[in-house]
Amino acid sequence: MKDLIEHVTEENARERFKSLFVERFFHKAMRESKVREFEVLEQGRLTFEQYGWEFTLLSSHASHFIATHAMKARRFE
């Protein structure tokens, strides 16, 4: 149980750091643009790997849409 709590705490700290880093070093207009790209992301002609890569990159800018790994998995389907 202790390992689980430490993992969750470490993951929360990592997510918080990423959020603060993006806010500090990426212009707001660029962040908003990436969120819009994420909202309309479709696989279309992308390979599964390309789509997965785009999803991963863009989801880091839209973390408020995807609060948990389970929600990420459902959005990715």
User: What pLDDT does residue 67 have?
Assistant: 62
Residue 5 or 30, more confident: 30
Q: What's the predicted TM-score (pTM) here?
A: 0.54
User: Does residue 72 surpass a pLDDT of 80?
Assistant: no
Tens of pLDDT along 34-52?
888 988 899 999 999 999 9
Task: Give residue-wise pLDDT tens across range 2-20.
Answer: 554 555 577 788 878 877 8
Q: What pLDDT does residue 21 have?
A: 82
Residue count of the chain, please give it: 77
What DSSP string describes 11-64? Answer: HHHHHHHHHHHHHHHS-HHHHHHHHHHHHT---TTS-HHHHHHHHHHHHTT-TT
